[in-house]
Structure 1
Amino acid sequence: MDDSLSLSESQNKRLRDFHLSGESEELAESLMKILRIPEGGNPQQKRVVVQVFVNRIFSVNDVEASVNLDFYLKVNWIDEKYIGVSDDDFQDDEQKFEEGWWEPGVEVSNAIELEKLIEKDEAFWVEHPAHGILAYTQRFIGTISTPMELQHFPFDSQKIPIVFESFHWKAEDMLMFRLEKHAVQFNPGPNKEWPTMSMAVTLPEWYKMGITLDDRINYYSFEDRNYSQIVFALHVKRNFKFFLYKVYAMVFLIQIMNWSIFVLDPDQLDARIGIAVTLFLAAVAFNFVLASTLPRISYNTRLDWYILIAYVYIVVALVESCIVFLIAKYHTESDAWDIAKNIDWAFLAFCPFSFFLYNLKYFISAWLLYRKDRFKRSLAPEQLANAPPRQTNRPQQSSQAMEMTRNPISKAAAQ
């Protein structure tokens, strides 16, 4: 692991100081509204607030259905015995993690391999002494799993989730909540900040559509128990232009070359078969290349269907060549040659015309599907009603200034 990604003790101290000086009483009150046990609620059930900030996404791996990323987790809860206790006194207490200590034990349930960069002694701190609000801050770097729905590939949209769950407490013991202002986040536009993601996050193959943060209860049948979860989800849409230029255009050109078969004389069977077989192998090679970029799924993608149709047209040309060869060579009528040529001309008209209609239908339907705002459609009516408006243009800040605004650890490291 790169040493530059690690956090020293002094940097963590500055991180706590930044939060303590930068967080307003208004934010403390908003936390208290969530963390207080409601009237008639279970006093034994802890309530915690979970916040997430994605710093970087290194890669999205379609084949392994995984994402390599760097993100921060922050968890707040109330511990009444720390009301009025300063963070310095908390840090100096060497007995704080012994008998009577409580922590939420929040982990990433869809982690494949994640490394924690902040040691336990530095991860816990008192954020709001007046209310006894403690905080746990952790930085994770590594790989998480993400489900991939590839039926519409390469015109697909995906959801990259980070699922947080306590490995210590059941739902009746602890509930996790989000901040409502983070529940739905639309893309603010280029060079504008996200509430829970650095604007330095770049995904060349994807467009970032929005972010949702959901709190939910997940039932595990093998335990017959419920667990509270927070699900951070980045909604993305694939940039299909690479496949348009590198795959679709090439397959289309293969089809144009395939139609040259119908121009050859009916008795030139060797030449016709040579062209058809060569083009078929070229289409198969394309399919193998694409297969290496996708997981072994049990269904065809949109691109698979397009290449499959290309196979069909090549096979049709091959079969037609055999038929006209037999007619021209073995038919006893005097106009057999003319019949064979007329069949060629008919196929030369039919194949391009039908393939053009297929392409028209294929790409219009793909474009209409792609243009749908699937992120907005995935939201429940109450989520849309409570979603913040899209941000308007504001005075530009430098990339470094914007990063430090959203990323307190970067600010601490720069000091």
Structure 2
Amino acid sequence: MLHLFLLTFGVLADNTDISLGAIANRLLQNPGGQPYDNLTRPGAFGDPTQVQAQFRLNRLFDVDPKTNVFAMDLFLRLRWNDPRLTFPEPLHNEALRIDPSLIWTPDIYFYNEAIQSVPLDQTLKISNDGTVFWSRHYLMYLATGFDLHNFPFDSQKLPIQLVSYSNSQQTLRLNWYNDSGGAAYPDPIVNKTFSSVLWNLNSINTTLTNIIFRDGQPQFDFLTYSLFVDRDPSVYILKYILPLFFIALCSTLTYWIDPTAVPARVGFGVSLLLASITLNFVVSADLPHVNYPTKLDTYIAIIFLFVFISMIEFAVIHVLRVMGRISLSPSIENTFRIVAPIELVLYTTYIFLPGLEVNPVRIVIIILMIVTFLATASYFGYHHIQFKKRQALEKSGEITPLKA
């Protein structure tokens, strides 16, 4: 190395117009000494080679919960020191730019990469002190698990995991690269034009994890950028939630149709039931398939229940009228006219409140739903008692039975 230094320095002293390309050739050819070995890491028989990494995030797109994959446009920057690549400082403090395949580069890869990607472009620069800076631009498809219990008002953690392999001698160690220096973890580097369709970037977290297997097996260094993003639910509200709500609201209008108009009541109820089934097929085709119900799945089930109850209620009213129990019919109709829309609004508000935790607003809504149910039960109980009294009076002949 000393021979190389003196030779290069002598050339610079004699000819200040020497090109950086010539310096690069001398570094790699190493005349008079051992040729540069791009398969051997720096300090192969010494301490582990320290490699520092940094991400620059440009854009998040194609977040697909169906396949548990999301895509990132990003730069991966690596920096390490290779003493074999030192040279006298050239004119204008320039750095060498060479092909990465000509020198040793660390074996580092994306742990949660879903589809193998090739760098769109890359740059490798060598400073005179042997510091190597390697920047690669990726369009990266990464895998992660999505938590969709709160869908479509969910928040997700999207990790970008970089891992290096070290054997039992710890030949390679991975850490963060900070432009400002001194800090263990860098501030998130995010392009000012960072954007995503349907997702809003909330925060970014950085972690460094070391994993050692049993019995002194190899060690892995994990660098993780975790993006915490919130889904924009506007499109789901307009396309799915509002239509479902209006279908259920229309089902409460059946209680205002004269129960003697059997074709009108049956036709209206069946039309709403078919409309809700059709919308459910449309919604299901666009929603992620998971083995647990999401918020939207639960709401769809409740909408079916409201429509189905409207059909059951009319069947009960019709049977009561056929059996001659006409006095119970108006009370049942009046109850459902008031209670059904109130319960629909309360439940819709409850299920789509932000977050999964129990909060005062949810507690108030639960109390209102319970009070409404108890008031309805009391109302039915009162009218049932009145019906029994009237039935007894009709049998004794004190009053005239009502006609259907």
Q: 2:267 aligns with which of 248, 265, 274?
A: 274
Cα separation, partners in 2 of 1:366 and 1:267, compared to 1, 3 Å: farther
Structure 2: segments with no counterpart, 5+ residues: 1-19, 21-42, 360-404
Q: 2:114 aligns with which of 109, 112, 117?
A: 112
Q: Does 1:298 align with 2:291?
A: yes
Quote how far apart the aligned CAs of 1:297 are.
0.3
Q: 1:289 aligns with which of 282, 297, 302?
A: 282
2:331 counterpart residue number? 342
Q: Percent identity among equivalent residues? A: 21
Cα separation, partners in 2 of 1:219 and 1:338, compared to 1, 3 Å: farther
1:375 counterpart residue number? none
2:342 counterpart residue number? 353
How far apart in 2 are the matches of 1:94 and 1:274? 73
Quote how far apart the aligned CAs of 1:242 are.
1.9
Q: 1:54 aligns with which of 48, 57, 68?
A: 57
How far apart in 1 are the matches of 2:231 and 2:112? 22
Q: Letter of the 1:133 partner, please give it.
A: T
Cα separation, partners in 2 of 1:282 and 1:167, compared to 1, 3 Å: farther
Cα separation, partners in 2 of 1:177 and 1:75, compared to 1, 3 Å: same
Cα separation, partners in 2 of 1:144 and 1:300, compared to 1, 3 Å: same
- Given that 1:266 and 1:328 are in contact with CA atoms closer than 8 Å, whether structure 2 keeps it comes out as no
Instruction: Say which SS state the counterpart of residue 72 (structure 2) adopts.
Output: strand
Q: 5 Å matches for 1:147-226?
A: 147-166=145-164, 172-179=170-177, 183=185, 195-218=188-211, 225-226=218-219
Q: Letter of the 1:129 partner, please give it.
A: N
Quote how far apart the aligned CAs of 1:151 are.
0.5
Greater RCO, 1 or 2 (C-alpha within 8 Å, sep 6+)? 1
How far apart in 1 are the matches of 2:269 and 2:99? 79
Q: 5 Å matches for 1:8-407?
A: 43-84=46-87, 96-97=102-103, 101=104, 103-117=105-119, 123-126=123-126, 128-130=127-129, 132-166=130-164, 172-179=170-177, 183=185, 195-218=188-211, 225-329=218-322, 331-332=323-324, 336-364=325-353, 366=355
Q: Letter of the 1:324 partner, please give it.
A: I
Instruction: Say which SS state the counterpart of residue 115 (structure 1) adopts.
Output: coil
1:376 counterpart residue number? none
* Residues 80-89 or 49-58, more deviating: 80-89
- Given that 1:47 and 1:176 are in contact with CA atoms closer than 8 Å, whether structure 2 keeps it comes out as yes
Quote how far apart the aligned CAs of 1:91 are.
5.3
TM-score by length of 2: 0.67
Quote how far apart the aligned CAs of 1:327 are.
0.7
Quote how far apart the aligned CAs of 1:68 are.
2.5
Cα separation, partners in 2 of 1:118 and 1:143, compared to 1, 3 Å: closer
Deviation string 1:11-63 (CA, Å, 9 cap, x unpaired) is: xx9xxxxxxxxxxxxxxxxxxxxxxx9xxxx9532221100112233322222
Quote how far apart the aligned CAs of 1:69 are.
2.7
How far apart in 1 are the matches of 2:348 and 2:230? 22
- Given that 1:55 and 1:70 are in contact with CA atoms closer than 8 Å, whether structure 2 keeps it comes out as yes
- Given that 1:74 and 1:136 are in contact with CA atoms closer than 8 Å, whether structure 2 keeps it comes out as yes
Cα separation, partners in 2 of 1:94 and 1:338, compared to 1, 3 Å: closer
- Given that 1:112 and 1:144 are in contact with CA atoms closer than 8 Å, whether structure 2 keeps it comes out as yes
Quote how far apart the aligned CAs of 1:85 are.
5.8
Deviation string 1:156-191 (CA, Å, 9 cap, x unpaired) is: 111222111125767933221114669475xxxxxx
- Given that 1:170 and 1:228 are in contact with CA atoms closer than 8 Å, whether structure 2 keeps it comes out as no
Instruction: Say which SS state the counterpart of residue 292 (structure 1) adopts.
Output: helix
How many equivalent residue pairs? 310
Q: Which has the larger radius of gyration?
A: 2
Cα separation, partners in 2 of 1:184 and 1:368, compared to 1, 3 Å: farther
The two structures, once aligned, show a CA RMSD in angstroms of 3.4
TM-score by length of 1: 0.65
How far apart in 1 are the matches of 2:56 and 2:238? 35
Structure 1: segments with no counterpart, 5+ residues: 1-12, 14-36, 186-194, 371-415
